[in-house]
Chains A and B, each alone.
Chain A
Amino acid sequence: MPNDIDSTFLALINENLGIAHKIARVYFDDPTSREDVVQEMIFQLWRSYPSFNNLSKFSTWMYRVCLNTALTHFSKSKRIPSEPLADHHYNLPDAENTRDDVDAMLTAISSLSKINRAIVLLYLEGMSHQEIGTVTGLSQKNVGVRLFRIRKELAEILNRQNQ
Chain B
Amino acid sequence: MDALDEMKEKWSGRRGSSPAYSSPDLLDVIRKRTRQHTLESMKYFWASFTYQIIVYALYGHVLVKYFHDPMVMIISSLGIVAYLPFTHMLMRKFKQLALNKPDGSDVSPVFNFVEHKRKVLQSFFRFKRRYELFLVPVSTLFGTLLVFQIYVPGGPFANLNGVWITIAITLIACFVAIRKENAKGFHTPLAELDKLLTEFNEDR
Contacts and interface: CB of A to CB of B under 8 A. Distances in A.
B193 A154 contact: no
B124 to A, nearest CB: 13
Nearest to B189: A75
Give the dominant DSSP class at A's interface. Answer: helix
A109 to B, nearest CB: 8
Contact of A94 (B15, B36, B185): B15
A73 to B, nearest CB: 10
B192 to A, nearest CB: 5
B27 A2 contact: yes
A113 B31 CA distance: 33
B193 to A, nearest CB: 7
B199 A115 contact: yes
Interface string A62-79: 001101110110110001
B32 interface: yes
Contact of A136 (B15, B111, B203): B111
Query: Most chain-A Cβ atoms within 10 A of its Cβ — which of B18, B20, B25?
Result: B18
B107 A126 contact: no
A147 B3 CA distance: 12
26 contacts: A2-B34, A3-B27, A14-B18, A18-B18, A40-B33, A43-B34, A48-B107, A65-B107, A68-B106, A68-B108, A80-B36, A83-B28, A86-B25, A89-B21, A94-B14, A97-B14, A98-B10, A98-B14, A105-B7, A108-B3, A118-B110, A137-B111, A142-B203, A147-B4, A151-B4, A158-B3
Interface of A: 1-5, 7, 10, 13-18, 39-40, 42-44, 46-48, 50-52, 61, 64-65, 67-69, 71-72, 74-75, 79-81, 83, 86, 88-91, 93-94, 97-98, 101-102, 105, 108, 113-115, 118, 120, 123-126, 134-139, 142, 145-147, 150-151, 154-155, 158
Given A10-B23, A43-B30, A138-B200, 4 more contacts: A2-B31, A64-B110, A115-B110, A139-B204
Interface of B: 2-4, 7-8, 10-21, 23, 25-37, 40, 102, 104, 106-114, 117, 185, 188-189, 192-193, 195-196, 199-200, 203-204
